[in-house]
């Protein structure tokens, strides 16, 4: 996937079991971040960083959506435990994860495994991919995006 490409559409269930579609946010910029797993150290830091920056995104009218292959129940517990104010989508079938090209081979403990590569996308109001940020740092990703979007 490249900048300028049409963002793949999807409908997935959120942490409350409600279906959410990318098309629900037509004509709005969207921050879409893919992460490997609920309640792991890096993913928790990234989610908490987005939560800490959430008021800034809300003031800009930009929804934040996190996606992993975890279940709705896992997302619900993760969101409750860390008071996450944004949408978490469950993608156990890897529908959006594969469509966005973030299901890739990774090295873990010296072995090759398939998994989600932490990647953030900014989707433009016209539904195209405005920016791709691969292999982002969990602690600084949210602040970097917010600073960039605040300049637009």
- Is 43 noted as a catalytic residue in this protein? yes
Q: How many helices, marked H, and strands, marked E, lie in the chain?
A: 4, 9
Catalytic member of 7, 22, 30, 43: 43
Encoded tokens for 103: 């299901």
Vertex 135: Cα angle to 60 and 50 (nearest 5): 30
Half-sphere exposure of residue 3: CA atoms within 13 angstroms, side-chain side:
7
Helix axes 41-59, 141-150, angle to 10 degrees: 20
Which residues are catalytically annotated? 43
């Amino acid at each position: 996937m490249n900048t300028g490409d049409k963002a793949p559409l999807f409908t997935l269930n959120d942490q409350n079991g409600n279906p959410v579609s990318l098309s629900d946010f037509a004509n709005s910029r969207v921050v879409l971040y893919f992460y490997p797993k609920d309640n792991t150290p890096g993913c928790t830091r990234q989610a908490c960083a987005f939560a800490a920056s959430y008021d800034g995104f809300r003031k800009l009218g930009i929804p934040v959506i996190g996606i992993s292959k975890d279940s709705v129940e896992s997302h619900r517990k993760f969101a409750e435990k860390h008071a996450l104010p944004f949408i978490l989508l469950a993608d156990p079938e890897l529908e959006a994860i594969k469509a966005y090209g973030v299901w890739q081979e990774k090295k873990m403990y010296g072995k090759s495994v398939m998994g989600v590569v932490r990647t953030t996308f900014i989707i433009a109001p016209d539904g195209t991919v405005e920016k791709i940020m691969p292999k982002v740092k969990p602690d600084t990703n949210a602040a970097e995006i917010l600073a960039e979007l605040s300049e637009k």
